[in-house]
Amino acid sequence: MSKVRVGINGYGVIGKRVADAILLQDDMELAGVTAVNADYRIRVAAEKGYSIFAASESRQSMMTEAGIPVEGSLKDLLKRVDVIIDCTPKGVGAEQKPIYENARVKAVFQGAERHELTGISFVAQVNYEEALNKQFARVVSCNTTALCRVLNSFNKRSWLKRVRAVLLRRGTDPWESHRDGMINTFIPETKVPSHQGPDARTVIKGLDITTMAGACSHNLSHVHYAMVETKRPIGLDELRYALWEEPRLAFVRSSNGLVALNSVIELMRDLGRPRNDMWEVAVWEDALAADEKETYMVFQVHNEAITVPENIDAIRSLCGLEKDGAKSIAKTDKAMGILKCFLPKTIPEAAVHAEIGAALKLERREFIEEGYKGAEEPF
Protein backbone atom coordinates (compact mmCIF):
# COMPACT_ATOMS: atom_id res chain seq x y z
CA MET A 1 0.00 0.00 0.00
CA SER A 2 1.43 3.40 -0.98
CA LYS A 3 1.89 6.04 1.69
CA VAL A 4 -0.47 8.98 1.99
CA ARG A 5 1.24 12.22 1.00
CA VAL A 6 0.74 14.94 3.60
CA GLY A 7 1.47 18.65 3.46
CA ILE A 8 1.56 21.14 6.33
CA ASN A 9 0.22 24.65 5.67
CA GLY A 10 1.71 26.71 8.49
CA TYR A 11 4.95 25.68 10.18
CA GLY A 12 4.23 27.07 13.64
CA VAL A 13 3.60 25.65 17.11
CA ILE A 14 1.32 22.84 15.89
CA GLY A 15 2.53 22.54 12.31
CA LYS A 16 6.14 21.77 13.14
CA ARG A 17 5.08 19.12 15.65
CA VAL A 18 2.66 17.45 13.24
CA ALA A 19 5.39 17.44 10.58
CA ASP A 20 7.75 15.56 12.88
CA ALA A 21 4.98 13.13 13.88
CA ILE A 22 4.20 12.32 10.25
CA LEU A 23 7.78 11.20 9.73
CA LEU A 24 7.27 8.57 12.45
CA GLN A 25 4.29 6.94 10.67
CA ASP A 26 4.87 4.06 8.25
CA ASP A 27 1.75 4.85 6.23
CA MET A 28 2.42 8.56 5.63
CA GLU A 29 5.08 10.74 4.06
CA LEU A 30 5.72 14.45 4.46
CA ALA A 31 5.46 16.21 1.09
CA GLY A 32 6.37 19.66 2.40
CA VAL A 33 5.60 22.58 4.68
CA THR A 34 4.70 26.22 4.09
CA ALA A 35 5.77 29.44 5.77
CA VAL A 36 5.12 33.16 5.41
CA ASN A 37 8.50 34.41 6.62
CA ALA A 38 12.18 33.54 6.81
CA ASP A 39 12.75 33.35 10.57
CA TYR A 40 14.49 30.63 12.57
CA ARG A 41 11.52 28.26 12.54
CA ILE A 42 11.44 27.65 8.81
CA ARG A 43 15.24 27.62 8.75
CA VAL A 44 15.09 24.67 11.17
CA ALA A 45 12.78 22.94 8.68
CA ALA A 46 15.40 23.51 6.00
CA GLU A 47 18.08 22.06 8.26
CA LYS A 48 15.89 18.96 8.68
CA GLY A 49 15.64 18.59 4.91
CA TYR A 50 11.93 19.31 4.65
CA SER A 51 10.58 20.54 1.32
CA ILE A 52 9.61 24.18 1.84
CA PHE A 53 6.94 26.19 0.06
CA ALA A 54 5.78 29.79 0.41
CA ALA A 55 2.29 30.11 1.88
CA SER A 56 1.49 32.52 -0.96
CA GLU A 57 3.11 33.44 -4.26
CA SER A 58 3.74 36.96 -2.97
CA ARG A 59 6.01 35.58 -0.23
CA GLN A 60 8.03 33.31 -2.47
CA SER A 61 10.57 35.83 -3.76
CA MET A 62 11.16 37.27 -0.27
CA MET A 63 11.88 33.85 1.16
CA THR A 64 14.18 32.95 -1.73
CA GLU A 65 16.13 36.20 -1.33
CA ALA A 66 16.50 35.40 2.40
CA GLY A 67 18.23 32.12 1.52
CA ILE A 68 15.31 29.76 2.14
CA PRO A 69 15.31 26.88 -0.41
CA VAL A 70 11.73 27.44 -1.56
CA GLU A 71 10.33 24.91 -4.04
CA GLY A 72 7.21 26.86 -4.95
CA SER A 73 4.02 28.16 -3.38
CA LEU A 74 1.10 26.52 -1.58
CA LYS A 75 -0.54 25.81 -4.94
CA ASP A 76 2.53 23.81 -5.95
CA LEU A 77 2.50 21.88 -2.66
CA LEU A 78 -1.17 21.00 -3.14
CA LYS A 79 -0.26 19.23 -6.38
CA ARG A 80 1.98 16.86 -4.39
CA VAL A 81 -0.39 15.89 -1.55
CA ASP A 82 -3.42 13.76 -0.78
CA VAL A 83 -4.21 15.67 2.41
CA ILE A 84 -3.19 19.05 3.80
CA ILE A 85 -2.98 19.86 7.52
CA ASP A 86 -4.03 23.47 7.94
CA CYS A 87 -2.11 24.97 10.86
CA THR A 88 -2.57 28.60 9.87
CA PRO A 89 -3.67 31.33 12.31
CA LYS A 90 -7.30 31.67 13.39
CA GLY A 91 -9.61 32.45 10.49
CA VAL A 92 -7.06 31.83 7.75
CA GLY A 93 -8.08 28.19 7.41
CA ALA A 94 -11.61 29.20 6.47
CA GLU A 95 -10.18 31.45 3.77
CA GLN A 96 -8.01 28.61 2.47
CA LYS A 97 -10.76 25.99 2.30
CA PRO A 98 -11.88 26.95 -1.25
CA ILE A 99 -8.27 26.54 -2.40
CA TYR A 100 -8.21 22.99 -0.97
CA GLU A 101 -11.56 22.24 -2.58
CA ASN A 102 -10.36 23.42 -5.98
CA ALA A 103 -7.21 21.31 -5.60
CA ARG A 104 -9.40 18.31 -4.68
CA VAL A 105 -7.38 17.44 -1.61
CA LYS A 106 -8.56 16.43 1.83
CA ALA A 107 -7.85 18.80 4.70
CA VAL A 108 -7.59 18.75 8.49
CA PHE A 109 -8.24 22.09 10.22
CA GLN A 110 -7.42 23.10 13.79
CA GLY A 111 -9.63 24.08 16.71
CA ALA A 112 -9.37 27.83 16.16
CA GLU A 113 -11.71 27.40 13.20
CA ARG A 114 -15.46 27.05 13.70
CA HIS A 115 -17.20 23.67 13.79
CA GLU A 116 -19.42 24.75 10.88
CA LEU A 117 -16.40 24.93 8.57
CA THR A 118 -16.26 21.14 8.30
CA GLY A 119 -19.29 19.82 10.21
CA ILE A 120 -16.98 17.26 11.85
CA SER A 121 -15.12 18.13 15.06
CA PHE A 122 -12.69 15.34 15.78
CA VAL A 123 -11.29 13.59 18.84
CA ALA A 124 -9.99 10.18 17.84
CA GLN A 125 -11.24 8.07 20.76
CA VAL A 126 -14.71 9.63 20.63
CA ASN A 127 -15.72 9.87 16.97
CA TYR A 128 -12.97 8.52 14.71
CA GLU A 129 -15.48 6.75 12.46
CA GLU A 130 -17.45 9.95 11.82
CA ALA A 131 -14.59 11.31 9.70
CA LEU A 132 -13.96 8.13 7.70
CA ASN A 133 -13.34 8.93 4.02
CA LYS A 134 -14.69 12.48 4.38
CA GLN A 135 -12.94 15.41 2.72
CA PHE A 136 -12.65 17.71 5.72
CA ALA A 137 -12.44 17.46 9.50
CA ARG A 138 -11.53 19.82 12.33
CA VAL A 139 -9.35 18.73 15.23
CA VAL A 140 -10.72 20.59 18.25
CA SER A 141 -8.64 22.81 20.51
CA CYS A 142 -6.24 21.58 23.17
CA ASN A 143 -8.66 22.18 26.05
CA THR A 144 -11.63 20.68 24.22
CA THR A 145 -9.53 17.64 23.27
CA ALA A 146 -8.61 17.09 26.92
CA LEU A 147 -12.21 17.46 28.12
CA CYS A 148 -13.44 15.00 25.48
CA ARG A 149 -10.77 12.42 26.32
CA VAL A 150 -11.54 12.54 30.03
CA LEU A 151 -15.33 12.68 29.67
CA ASN A 152 -15.39 9.89 27.11
CA SER A 153 -14.46 7.50 29.92
CA PHE A 154 -17.73 8.50 31.64
CA ASN A 155 -19.90 8.83 28.55
CA LYS A 156 -19.25 5.37 27.14
CA ARG A 157 -20.21 3.88 30.52
CA SER A 158 -23.45 5.92 30.61
CA TRP A 159 -22.32 7.63 33.81
CA LEU A 160 -22.60 11.24 32.70
CA LYS A 161 -25.30 13.50 34.02
CA ARG A 162 -23.75 16.96 34.13
CA VAL A 163 -20.26 18.44 33.92
CA ARG A 164 -18.85 21.64 35.33
CA ALA A 165 -15.24 22.53 34.60
CA VAL A 166 -12.96 25.44 35.41
CA LEU A 167 -10.06 26.02 33.05
CA LEU A 168 -6.96 27.92 34.12
CA ARG A 169 -5.29 28.76 30.85
CA ARG A 170 -1.67 29.62 30.22
CA GLY A 171 -1.13 33.29 29.44
CA THR A 172 0.76 32.78 26.19
CA ASP A 173 2.80 30.20 24.31
CA PRO A 174 6.43 30.00 25.47
CA TRP A 175 7.88 30.94 22.08
CA GLU A 176 6.08 34.31 22.04
CA SER A 177 6.18 35.25 25.72
CA HIS A 178 8.22 38.33 24.81
CA ARG A 179 5.25 39.70 22.84
CA ASP A 180 2.36 39.72 25.26
CA GLY A 181 3.32 37.71 28.30
CA MET A 182 1.20 38.33 31.38
CA ILE A 183 2.93 39.13 34.67
CA ASN A 184 1.49 38.95 38.17
CA THR A 185 -2.17 38.85 37.19
CA PHE A 186 -5.16 36.71 36.27
CA ILE A 187 -7.75 37.59 33.64
CA PRO A 188 -11.15 35.90 34.03
CA GLU A 189 -13.16 35.26 30.89
CA THR A 190 -16.44 37.05 31.43
CA LYS A 191 -18.40 34.90 29.01
CA VAL A 192 -20.06 31.87 30.61
CA PRO A 193 -19.88 29.24 29.33
CA SER A 194 -16.43 29.60 27.86
CA HIS A 195 -16.20 28.24 24.32
CA GLN A 196 -14.77 24.83 25.32
CA GLY A 197 -18.07 23.54 26.73
CA PRO A 198 -20.18 24.16 23.61
CA ASP A 199 -17.25 22.96 21.50
CA ALA A 200 -17.11 19.66 23.42
CA ARG A 201 -20.77 19.13 22.54
CA THR A 202 -19.85 19.08 18.85
CA VAL A 203 -17.82 15.93 19.63
CA ILE A 204 -19.82 14.27 22.44
CA LYS A 205 -23.39 14.80 21.31
CA GLY A 206 -25.87 15.79 24.01
CA LEU A 207 -23.18 16.50 26.61
CA ASP A 208 -24.48 18.61 29.50
CA ILE A 209 -21.47 20.77 30.33
CA THR A 210 -20.71 24.26 31.57
CA THR A 211 -17.17 25.61 31.46
CA MET A 212 -15.58 28.73 32.92
CA ALA A 213 -12.09 29.91 32.07
CA GLY A 214 -9.43 32.48 32.73
CA ALA A 215 -5.87 33.28 31.67
CA CYS A 216 -3.02 33.03 34.17
CA SER A 217 0.48 34.50 34.24
CA HIS A 218 2.30 31.28 33.33
CA ASN A 219 3.09 29.61 30.00
CA LEU A 220 3.62 25.96 30.94
CA SER A 221 0.25 24.53 29.81
CA HIS A 222 -3.32 24.61 31.10
CA VAL A 223 -4.93 23.04 34.16
CA HIS A 224 -8.56 21.89 34.47
CA TYR A 225 -10.76 21.34 37.51
CA ALA A 226 -13.66 19.08 36.50
CA MET A 227 -16.70 18.22 38.61
CA VAL A 228 -18.76 15.47 36.98
CA GLU A 229 -22.24 14.73 38.27
CA THR A 230 -23.02 11.07 37.66
CA LYS A 231 -26.24 9.09 37.22
CA ARG A 232 -25.31 6.82 40.10
CA PRO A 233 -22.64 6.92 42.80
CA ILE A 234 -19.22 6.12 41.33
CA GLY A 235 -16.62 4.68 43.67
CA LEU A 236 -13.06 5.95 43.66
CA ASP A 237 -11.72 2.65 42.32
CA GLU A 238 -14.31 2.73 39.51
CA LEU A 239 -13.23 6.26 38.62
CA ARG A 240 -9.56 5.39 38.72
CA TYR A 241 -10.03 2.31 36.57
CA ALA A 242 -12.20 4.09 33.98
CA LEU A 243 -9.55 6.77 33.53
CA TRP A 244 -6.81 4.14 33.36
CA GLU A 245 -8.60 2.32 30.54
CA GLU A 246 -9.03 5.47 28.46
CA PRO A 247 -6.34 6.11 25.80
CA ARG A 248 -4.05 9.12 26.07
CA LEU A 249 -4.69 9.75 29.76
CA ALA A 250 -1.83 9.17 32.22
CA PHE A 251 -1.67 9.48 35.99
CA VAL A 252 0.76 11.69 37.87
CA ARG A 253 1.05 11.97 41.64
CA SER A 254 2.04 14.83 43.88
CA SER A 255 3.43 12.20 46.26
CA ASN A 256 6.14 11.56 43.65
CA GLY A 257 7.14 15.22 43.52
CA LEU A 258 4.88 16.01 40.55
CA VAL A 259 3.22 18.80 42.48
CA ALA A 260 2.76 21.46 39.79
CA LEU A 261 2.71 22.20 36.08
CA ASN A 262 6.43 22.88 35.97
CA SER A 263 7.38 19.58 37.61
CA VAL A 264 5.29 17.60 35.12
CA ILE A 265 6.91 19.45 32.23
CA GLU A 266 10.30 18.78 33.83
CA LEU A 267 9.39 15.09 33.84
CA MET A 268 8.80 15.31 30.09
CA ARG A 269 12.26 16.85 29.71
CA ASP A 270 13.83 14.11 31.81
CA LEU A 271 12.07 11.46 29.71
CA GLY A 272 13.72 12.95 26.63
CA ARG A 273 10.49 14.10 25.00
CA PRO A 274 11.00 16.28 21.90
CA ARG A 275 10.38 19.92 22.87
CA ASN A 276 9.34 18.52 26.32
CA ASP A 277 5.99 17.64 24.73
CA MET A 278 3.27 15.86 26.66
CA TRP A 279 0.72 14.32 24.28
CA GLU A 280 -1.20 12.71 27.12
CA VAL A 281 -3.59 14.39 29.56
CA ALA A 282 -1.88 14.19 32.96
CA VAL A 283 -4.45 13.40 35.66
CA TRP A 284 -3.45 13.86 39.31
CA GLU A 285 -4.37 10.46 40.72
CA ASP A 286 -3.98 11.51 44.34
CA ALA A 287 -6.42 14.40 43.76
CA LEU A 288 -9.24 12.18 42.49
CA ALA A 289 -12.32 12.26 44.69
CA ALA A 290 -15.90 11.02 44.62
CA ASP A 291 -19.05 11.28 46.69
CA GLU A 292 -22.62 10.07 46.28
CA LYS A 293 -23.35 12.60 43.52
CA GLU A 294 -20.14 13.69 41.82
CA THR A 295 -16.55 12.88 40.94
CA TYR A 296 -13.75 15.45 41.06
CA MET A 297 -10.61 15.62 38.95
CA VAL A 298 -7.62 17.89 38.28
CA PHE A 299 -5.63 17.45 35.08
CA GLN A 300 -2.92 19.16 33.07
CA VAL A 301 -3.15 19.92 29.35
CA HIS A 302 -0.01 20.68 27.32
CA ASN A 303 -1.49 23.05 24.77
CA GLU A 304 1.45 22.84 22.36
CA ALA A 305 1.36 19.06 22.00
CA ILE A 306 -1.93 17.40 22.92
CA THR A 307 -3.62 17.72 19.51
CA VAL A 308 -0.68 16.33 17.53
CA PRO A 309 -1.75 12.65 17.71
CA GLU A 310 -5.32 13.71 16.88
CA ASN A 311 -4.06 15.21 13.62
CA ILE A 312 -2.33 11.94 12.76
CA ASP A 313 -5.48 9.92 13.43
CA ALA A 314 -7.58 12.43 11.48
CA ILE A 315 -5.34 11.84 8.44
CA ARG A 316 -5.90 8.09 8.73
CA SER A 317 -9.64 8.51 9.09
CA LEU A 318 -10.10 10.95 6.20
CA CYS A 319 -7.95 8.84 3.91
CA GLY A 320 -9.49 5.54 4.99
CA LEU A 321 -6.12 4.08 5.95
CA GLU A 322 -7.67 2.41 8.99
CA LYS A 323 -11.38 1.90 9.66
CA ASP A 324 -10.98 1.03 13.34
CA GLY A 325 -10.30 4.06 15.51
CA ALA A 326 -8.79 2.01 18.34
CA LYS A 327 -6.27 0.48 15.93
CA SER A 328 -5.29 3.88 14.56
CA ILE A 329 -4.84 5.27 18.06
CA ALA A 330 -2.67 2.31 19.05
CA LYS A 331 -0.58 2.72 15.89
CA THR A 332 -0.09 6.44 16.43
CA ASP A 333 0.70 6.01 20.12
CA LYS A 334 3.31 3.35 19.44
CA ALA A 335 5.01 5.40 16.75
CA MET A 336 5.11 8.57 18.85
CA GLY A 337 5.88 6.96 22.21
CA ILE A 338 2.63 7.97 23.90
CA LEU A 339 2.38 6.29 27.30
CA LYS A 340 -0.15 5.13 29.87
CA CYS A 341 2.50 5.06 32.59
CA PHE A 342 5.38 7.53 32.68
CA LEU A 343 7.51 5.58 35.19
CA PRO A 344 6.68 1.87 34.73
CA LYS A 345 9.87 0.40 36.20
CA THR A 346 9.25 1.84 39.64
CA ILE A 347 5.48 2.40 39.57
CA PRO A 348 3.81 -0.78 38.20
CA GLU A 349 0.51 0.88 37.32
CA ALA A 350 -0.56 -1.76 34.80
CA ALA A 351 -0.48 -4.51 37.43
CA VAL A 352 -2.17 -2.34 40.05
CA HIS A 353 -5.02 -1.35 37.75
CA ALA A 354 -5.42 -4.87 36.40
CA GLU A 355 -6.01 -5.95 40.00
CA ILE A 356 -8.51 -3.12 40.51
CA GLY A 357 -10.29 -4.13 37.30
CA ALA A 358 -10.52 -7.77 38.37
CA ALA A 359 -11.91 -6.77 41.76
CA LEU A 360 -14.52 -4.50 40.14
CA LYS A 361 -15.54 -7.28 37.76
CA LEU A 362 -15.98 -9.71 40.65
CA GLU A 363 -17.94 -7.12 42.61
CA ARG A 364 -20.31 -6.54 39.66
CA ARG A 365 -20.84 -10.29 39.21
CA GLU A 366 -21.67 -10.74 42.90
CA PHE A 367 -24.05 -7.77 42.73
CA ILE A 368 -25.89 -9.24 39.73
CA GLU A 369 -26.13 -12.67 41.34
CA GLU A 370 -27.53 -11.13 44.51
CA GLY A 371 -29.99 -9.15 42.41
CA TYR A 372 -31.22 -12.30 40.66
CA LYS A 373 -31.62 -14.14 43.95
CA GLY A 374 -33.37 -11.40 45.84
CA ALA A 375 -32.71 -10.27 49.38
CA GLU A 376 -35.74 -12.13 50.73
CA GLU A 377 -34.55 -15.53 49.50
CA PRO A 378 -32.56 -17.93 51.70
CA PHE A 379 -28.78 -18.34 51.29
Q: Among residues 142, 148, 216, 319, which one is catalytic?
A: 142
* 142 belongs to the catalytic site: yes
Closest by CA to 4, choosing from 107, 78, 74, 81, is 81
Tell which phi-psi region holds residue 184, choosing left (phi > 0), alpha (psi between -120 and 50) or beta. left
User: CB of 356 within 8 A of CB of 243?
Assistant: no
Tell which phi-psi region holds residue 97, choosing left (phi > 0), alpha (psi between -120 and 50) or beta. alpha
Per the annotation, does 303 bind a ligand?
yes
Q: How far is CA 91 from CA 22, 87, 198, in A?
A: 24, 11, 19
Strand partners, 271: none
Angle at 343 between CA 338 and CA 347, to 5 degrees: 130
Angle at 306 between CA 3 and CA 317, to 5 degrees: 35
CB count in 10 Å sphere of residue 358: 11
Query: What is the distance between the alpha carbons of residues 175 and 319, in angstroms, rounded to a whole number?
Result: 33
| Catalytic (active-site) positions | 142
Known binding residues: 303
Known binding residues for NAD(+): 303
